[in-house]
């Protein structure tokens, strides 16, 4: 790590200055509304799909801080429009103990295989999974471990789609020792017991187009 791990990180995500130092990978469009950050894709997904390049419409936005191995992460989330997918990366590093932004790592441009089967080591939880027809038929939250795209836990997704979401929902991840749990509005949706737990690392927000969603009041707390 570049410096000591933080005990508490709070970011309202309410103004452009709140994203100073954040790293965008892929075509992210950023606005600010309702006390938070609104993320969407800046790409013309229809044109990319027509050209056989639809997977280039998605993006990841990394927080600049590095966090210790035992943390609680929470944020407010509200889907505003569009079918898509929202995801959180956490405990993210480069493989072989390298920093996530080590220039020796392969370049990342927002395409998902670069994260799940490249030289990134991370856990990533996907929620509001509405991108594909099978995801819209049966809503789940999925936890995967990379590299390798390993599905390690799954639970029901209680989030309404944008057409019915009339408020913000508090999303939370707790990673302590071998245990990782995920909850929305205090409802625990799954717990994963990791036989080989990941350590310290970074967090990042990921979206798949055409979802437009609002994030605010991000908090990361070190756990004793």
pLDDT of 40-51, one tens digit each? 999 988 888 777
Residue 126 pLDDT greater than 60, yes or no:
yes
**Which residues are 75's β-sheet partners?**
171
pLDDT at 144: 97
pLDDT digits (tens, 9 = 90+) for 150-196: 999 999 999 999 999 999 999 999 999 999 999 999 999 999 999 99
Mean confidence (pLDDT) of the chain: 93
pLDDT at 50: 78
Would you place residue 53 in the very low, low, confident or very high pLDDT band (cuts 50, 70, 90)? confident
Number of CB atoms found within 10 A of residue 184's CB: 20
For residue 137, the surrounding DSSP H or E stretch is: helix 133-137
- Report the chain's C-alpha Rg in angstroms: 16
Q: Is 45 helix (H, G, I), strand (E, B) or coil?
A: helix
- Taking the complete model, does pTM exceed 0.75, yes or no? yes
Q: Which residues contact 52 (CB under 8 A, 6 or more apart)?
A: none
The whole-angstrom separation of Cα 180 and Cα 153 is: 9
Residue 86 pLDDT greater than 80, yes or no:
yes
Residue 37 pLDDT greater than 50, yes or no:
yes
Would you place residue 1 in the very low, low, confident or very high pLDDT band (cuts 50, 70, 90)? very low
Q: What is the DSSP letter of 10?
A: E
pLDDT at 138: 75
Would you place residue 6 in the very low, low, confident or very high pLDDT band (cuts 50, 70, 90)? low
Domains and CATH numbers, the chain: 8-103+111-222 (2.60.120.200)
pLDDT at 190: 98
Chain centroid to Cα 88, Å, comes to 2
Residue 2 pLDDT greater than 50, yes or no:
no
């Amino acid at each position: 790590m570049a410096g000591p791990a933080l005990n508490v990180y709070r970011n309202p995500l309410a103004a452009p200055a709140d994203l100073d130092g954040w790293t965008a990978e892929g075509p992210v469009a950023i606005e600010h509304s309702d006390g938070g950050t609104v993320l969407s894709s800046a790409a013309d997904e229809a044109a990319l799909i027509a050209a056989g390049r639809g997977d280039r419409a998605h993006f990841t936005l990394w927080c600049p801080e590095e966090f210790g191995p035992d943390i609680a992460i929470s944020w407010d989330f509200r889907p505003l429009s569009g079918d898509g997918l929202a995801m959180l990366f956490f405990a993210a590093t480069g493989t072989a103990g390298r920093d996530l932004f080590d220039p020796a790592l392969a370049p990342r441009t927002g395409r998902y295989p670069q994260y799940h089967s490249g030289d990134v080591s991370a856990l990533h939880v996907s929620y509001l999974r509405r991108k594909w027809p099978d995801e819209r038929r049966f809503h789940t939250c999925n936890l995967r471990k990379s590299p390798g795209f390993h599905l390690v836990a799954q639970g029901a997704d209680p989030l309404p789609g944008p057409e019915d979401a009339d408020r913000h929902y508090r999303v939370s991840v707790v990673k302590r020792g071998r245990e990782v749990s995920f909850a929305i509005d205090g409802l625990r949706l799954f717990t994963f017991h990791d036989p080989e737990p990941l350590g310290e690392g970074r967090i990042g927000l990921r979206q798949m187009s055409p979802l437009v969603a609002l994030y605010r009041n991000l908090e990361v707390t070190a756990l004793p």
